[in-house]
Structure 1
Amino acid sequence: MAAILIIDDDDSMRSSLWHMVKRMGHQVDSAPTLREGLEKASTGAFDVVLLDVSMPDGNGLDILPDIQRTPAEPEVIIITGYGNPDSAELAIRSGAWDYIEKGTSLKAMTLHLVRALQYRQEKIASRGASVTALKRHDIVGNSHKIRDCLDLVAQAAAGDTSVMITGETGTGKELFARAIHSNSRRAEGNFVVVDCAALPETLVESLLFGHEKGTFTGAEKAREGLIQQAHGGSLFLDEVGELPLSVQKAFLRVLQERRFRPLGSQREQVSDFRLISATNRDLDQMVRDGGFRDDLLFRLRAFAIELPPLRERPEDIKELARHHVDRLCERYGLAPKGFAPEFLDTLAQHSWPGNVRELVNTLERALASARLEPTLFPQHLPLDIRIQIARAAVEQPEPGAAPQRITQSLPRLQDFRETVFAQAEKQYLRDLLSLTDNDLKEACRIAGLSLSRLYALLSKHGIKPA
């Protein structure tokens, strides 16, 4: 028996979902506001949350990450009276299990819930075994988003398909690539790193494919290419978006056949390697702009892992700080350092645009500032970070304080769109019933709606046909 939470301000919809869940034999609780729903999700052990988008106290999508960070880490199914493609994309990108409209039949909604519960049960059962045994290679953190990424690492390591790792600079793409290699059947083979951004365009083919003696000026002896060095292991193309177009076609053939010809050679060589690539660039946009081959991107992205920026997993900052400070102290022969509470608070308030890499560099500078002092305080942090935090604290108005000047406020664009859409939809339904003299079948024919969908819309807007 599972536990389900319904967050919806529509009494009739909440009642329908309540009875649906009860008929399935599960426990159920509900909340008519986002605030109450988040409180219940934070204190209860729910498996699935059914979350409405348009709520009296905000947009449900805004609290989706907060719900996912609660201790139970429930699956979230977004339910909405009027969906739109942008909201659907945002929901799925944010980790929602599904995005469905309220006009969907209860039978279909039941199936969505059954599948979400089945997925959750299997994920929990497999996560313990796969992630616990995983060699993490300095991947620090146990937030929801990092554990999801580690689940994907375990899945990727079990196969041999090409993997693409995306994420902002400093999120640890090479660490995750090494973790995939170290947990795969190729762990005993080489892990060959190719920094595509640092490859000289005139030598890139020679470095990748190798060359024979005398092929070009300066080729005094034959040289084995990086692709051949990765035979039996993994080839990691870092910043693959920087790979020159002139090389992309040749590399595509290597991926398809695992065969290549060194420069100046008459014979082809074979290399059995596993390809892992990484980039912080939008390769889809590069394809549209003609800067990257779509057929190569298709091959590279057979399995995808997107790493979260540090600002989206602040709960990992304390663990990251402890791990890296201990490591740095050991490297420099320093005694272990303690943290003042204010030091960790300051770290948590920074946005870390450079992600984990910036955090590590900052901690190294703090240690240099502290020297032999046993405790790290905010005063040991770089001046620019302390100034940024101080300015942000002053710019935030104190609770209850009167504003110094009156400013015109505007709602969020998405909220404005939804409000206008709801008003137009309500007026359309009123005009529709008036035109058809409350003949619901005729209204369905004109509007192109099913009867259940029409009933759902009328209920949402509080319209009762005569």
Structure 2
Amino acid sequence: MMAPEDAALNGHETDKISVLIIDDDSQVCRFLSKIFTGMGYSVSHELTLTQGISHIFSGRVDILFLDVNLPDGNGLEAINTIRHHPSPPEIIVITADDNVDGAEIAMKSKAWDYIAKTGSSKNFRFALERAVEYRRQKKASLSRNDIRREGIVGESRGILKCLEKVAVAAHSDIPVLVTGETGTGKELFSRAIHACSPRCSEPFVVVDCAALPEHLVESTIFGHTRGAFTGADRDRTGLMKIADRGTLFLDEVGELPLEIQKKFLRAIQEKKFRPLGSKTEIHSNFRLICATHRDLEDLIKKEKFREDLFYRIVSLTLHLPPLKDRGEDVAGLALNHMKNQHGANLKNGCIMSRPFMEELQIYDWPGNVRELFNTLDRVCAEAGEGATLFPHHLPEHIRAFNIRHRYAVRQTETPDPETGSFEGPLVPSEPLPPFKDHMEKNKAEYLGHLVAVTQGDIKACCRISGLSRGHLYRLMQQYDIKNNADS
């Protein structure tokens, strides 16, 4: 189930370019309209300059074909007026005169092109296609650059598409539903929408629907008067009223009780509600953003979420990709977290080695960005001050996953007899050892290598491995690692 508005955003309707022709020759208007409509664009025309300018300032026009000599004015002289539009169209001047001076004036006025009416229809098609491509690139660039993306790290295709959606959402006031797995940054992107919107100077009010006790949800959202229920010893302003003129963010909206969903539906329809115990309705002009990791359509089928509420909150959907689908962003996220983390754990100057970074990019991060950051915090705390982080600093479940991943990749390859590269299936030449035996062998090899590299310097061994002296000695004894420096 997809709301009509969102279907338009995901399809071609919102990308359909609007073309306006201003020319007093109705035959020219019909001729160009037929060409441009056949190219898939939305086309309209006006026969006077006054009507044309009124059309531009009363609606959306992306590309303007503007005649020079019009009954009520000169098209070239009107360009500066048109440029005062908040989002002026790309202007292509058309004329029946071969006037070089007119072309020069048009270019100085920042017109896109200057075309003689006597030219081939191909000239009009070509000019329009170039102007459209320029318009789209400029719009996409401005959209991304205008976003205050504090905390949003990444340049993957998925993230850039999300940022473009953020720009669309920020320039409207329609409800937004942000979806994605836990830890993908739903609140972060919701805050970005608010920060880029005209409401940015007003409150961004968070309601954690999953954390609120069911008996407190209604009073927390709508507020209550003194004596409304046992324990209500004073009036309380609800979060919906606090969000007046700002943004109300419902995190994990799928957890709202059904009874509250019914009352909330009316509140977002009319922007009015009645606090518990009050006889008076309160007005609140809030913008609504909801987030969930649940499948709301599945909840509707199970009668755990109201269908009418779903269509109210889903005018625009922003789906955040899991971290496993944006592997190219992992390194940037890790570096940014290490650089900007203000917690005491990361003030110890830990440095990530290249092999460590490579291991981070292999793992699939089921807990997404949140898991990545928590892992880095833990690793830095355990490694100690000034440590260089190596793969062995990572938790065992991550290292085990990466080993299985490498082996799975190798299973699909076979060495080419000439180049030695791998292609096709590979059958192991000898039986694989049990996983536990394999891990034990790796630990023994690591400890032996550690002692050899440090020439038996136990202090250096502890610093590199992140192990305590007692733990290191126990492991050396367990795996029968000899330290010649002690003999």
Pairing 1:242–2:255 present: yes
Choose from 398, 409, 414 the match for 1:399: 414
The aligned residue for residue 293 of structure 1 is 306
Pairing 1:260–2:284 present: no
Whether the aligned pair in 2 keeps the contact of 1:328 and 1:364 (CA below 8 Å) is no
Q: Give the drift of 1:328.
A: 2.6
AA at the equivalent of 2:249? F
Pairing 1:320–2:333 present: yes
The aligned residue for residue 402 of structure 2 is 389
Choose from 118, 125, 131 the match for 2:138: 125
Pairing 1:181–2:194 present: yes
The aligned residue for residue 445 of structure 1 is none
Number of corresponding residues: 293
Whether the aligned pair in 2 keeps the contact of 1:309 and 1:355 (CA below 8 Å) is yes
Q: Give the drift of 1:127.
A: 2.2
Distance in 2 of aligned mates of 1:382 and 1:402: 29
The aligned residue for residue 351 of structure 2 is 338
Choose from 217, 220, 234 the match for 2:230: 217
Whether the aligned pair in 1 keeps the contact of 2:348 and 2:386 (CA below 8 Å) is no
The aligned residue for residue 208 of structure 1 is 221
Whether the aligned pair in 2 keeps the contact of 1:137 and 1:178 (CA below 8 Å) is no
The aligned residue for residue 147 of structure 1 is 160
Q: Give the drift of 1:338.
A: 2.9
The aligned residue for residue 169 of structure 1 is 182
Residue 221 to residue 330, structure 1, CA distance change in 2 (3 Å): closer
The aligned residue for residue 349 of structure 1 is 362
Q: Give the drift of 1:331.
A: 4.7
Of 329-338 and 178-187, the range deviating more from structure 2? 329-338
Residues 353-401 of structure 1 show CA distances to partners (whole Å, capped at 9, x for unaligned) of: 1111111111111111222134221122112111221233344336337
Distance in 2 of aligned mates of 1:321 and 1:402: 34
Q: 5+ unaligned residues in a row in structure 1: which ranges?
A: 1-23, 25-113, 406-466
Whether the aligned pair in 1 keeps the contact of 2:338 and 2:346 (CA below 8 Å) is no
Q: Give the drift of 1:236.
A: 0.3
Distance in 2 of aligned mates of 1:344 and 1:118: 43
Distance in 1 of aligned mates of 2:374 and 2:131: 43
Distance in 1 of aligned mates of 2:178 and 2:133: 24
AA at the equivalent of 1:279? T
Whether the aligned pair in 2 keeps the contact of 1:165 and 1:278 (CA below 8 Å) is yes
Q: Give the drift of 1:402.
A: 4.8
The aligned residue for residue 280 of structure 1 is 293
Residue 391 to residue 307, structure 1, CA distance change in 2 (3 Å): same
Of 368-377 and 283-292, the range deviating more from structure 2? 368-377
The aligned residue for residue 15 of structure 1 is none
Q: Give the drift of 1:274.
A: 0.4
Distance in 1 of aligned mates of 2:274 and 2:171: 30
Residues 9-39 of structure 1 show CA distances to partners (whole Å, capped at 9, x for unaligned) of: xxxxxxxxxxxxxxx9xxxxxxxxxxxxxxx
Whether the aligned pair in 2 keeps the contact of 1:338 and 1:374 (CA below 8 Å) is yes
Residue 117 to residue 201, structure 1, CA distance change in 2 (3 Å): farther
Distance in 2 of aligned mates of 1:207 and 1:329: 32
The aligned residue for residue 63 of structure 1 is none
AA at the equivalent of 1:296? L
Distance in 1 of aligned mates of 2:214 and 2:347: 44
Residue 119 to residue 294, structure 1, CA distance change in 2 (3 Å): farther
AA at the equivalent of 1:178? R
Distance in 1 of aligned mates of 2:311 and 2:131: 30
The CA RMSD over aligned residues, in Å, is 2.3
The aligned residue for residue 170 of structure 2 is 157
AA at the equivalent of 1:145? G
The aligned residue for residue 7 of structure 2 is none
Distance in 2 of aligned mates of 1:170 and 1:153: 18
Pairing 1:136–2:130 present: no
Choose from 378, 382, 392 the match for 1:379: 392
Secondary structure in 1 matching 2:214: coil
Give the % identical residues. Answer: 47
Distance in 2 of aligned mates of 1:206 and 1:189: 22
Distance in 2 of aligned mates of 1:381 and 1:234: 40
Q: 5+ unaligned residues in a row in structure 2: which ranges?
A: 1-38, 40-126, 416-424, 430-487
TM-score of the superposition, structure 1-length normalised?
A: 0.60
Residues 176-212 of structure 1 show CA distances to partners (whole Å, capped at 9, x for unaligned) of: 0100111111111111100111121112111111111
Whether the aligned pair in 2 keeps the contact of 1:326 and 1:337 (CA below 8 Å) is no
The aligned residue for residue 440 of structure 1 is none
Secondary structure in 1 matching 2:228: coil
Distance in 1 of aligned mates of 2:174 and 2:131: 26
